[in-house]
Amino acid sequence: MSSKDGKQTFIDLYLNRRVLAEDIDDYIDAWHADPKGQEIYEFLGMSEQEYSLWLRDPDALPHIARARKERKPLAAVISSALNEMPIAARSSDAIKVQRLKHWLEEHGKID
């Protein structure tokens, strides 16, 4: 997915390991400086769903990348990641787990 002007988006570059997760801040700053009529998620190369997940948990970029690379629904990747997470990690990352579960609930993937 490229931007309207043909340049690679943040997510394109991230998927190709040409930028790091923390580089997203520079892209957000660039969007604020000149949004070019795009929504921020479009500018970054994300879907609305991906962007909403990233807003909830910025550490979710690897999950977004996995969903894209494996051509799987994002919710399935998140559910799988939560199920594969060891119990000890769930308790130490309780806030992150709650954020991801809440995102799944909002998208109708769990009750």
| pLDDT of amino acid 1 | 56
| pLDDT of amino acid 110 | 61
Displacement of CA 74 from its chain's centroid (Å): 9
Burial class (CB in 10 A: 0-12, 13-18, 19+), 65: middle
d(CA 35, CA 39) in angstroms, rounded, equals: 7
Q: Are 38 and 14 in contact (CB under 8 A)?
A: no
pLDDT mean values, one per 10 residues, the chain (111 residues)? 72 96 97 95 97 93 96 92 69 76 80 48
Q: Tokens standing for 87? A: 């119990």
| pLDDT of amino acid 87 | 61
d(CA 33, CA 31) in angstroms, rounded, equals: 5
d(CA 11, CA 51) in angstroms, rounded, equals: 11
8-state DSSP, 2 = B
pTM: 0.78
| pLDDT of amino acid 4 | 58
| pLDDT of amino acid 43 | 97
